[in-house]
Amino acid sequence: MTKAERAEIAHAIAQAEDGTSGRIAVRVIPDRSVDAFERAKREFGALKLHRYEPRNGALILVAPNARQFAIIGDNELHERVGDVFWSDVVKESQPYFARAETQAGILYAIARIGEALRQNFAEPATS
């Protein structure tokens, strides 16, 4: 991933988190053989995303060389959006990853998670 692509992802995360209490992280790993969901759970803990209150962090993990990805959210976020949301985000992102459009898939997933954060965890506007 290029420096410009990393910057674009960072900007998309900042926009998605803006005005919410949520946190989004992205990890792209070079592994050729990995269980993306299990690795995502480990990365989620390593990043300490579970320590953010109100437990509304999300992680997008992509292993392009293994042709796998996983998207997970912490307890409170999951309770608010439910299994259908996560299934939809994965289903909608999958075509990007299948075409090796990793950047587009990540940006799409970030935007969808950002919508969920704004709907469920908007912070009051400060004046």
pLDDT in tens, 55-90: 999 999 999 999 999 999 999 999 999 999 999 999
pLDDT of residue 49: 87
Residues of the chain below pLDDT 70: 125-127
- Res 127: pLDDT: 56
Domains and CATH numbers, the chain: 3-120 (3.10.310.50)
Closest CA to 114 of 40, 7, 11, 2: 11
Q: What's 33's DSSP letter? A: S
Q: What is the pLDDT of residue 53?
A: 80
| Residue-wise burial string across 22-58, b where 16 or more C-beta atoms lie within 10 A, e elsewhere | bbbbbbbbeeeebebeebbeebbeeeebeebeebbbb
What pLDDT was estimated at residue 126?
66
pLDDT score, position 52 = 78
pLDDT at 123: 87
Question: What per-residue confidence (pLDDT) applies to 51?
Answer: 83
Q: What is the pLDDT of residue 116?
A: 97
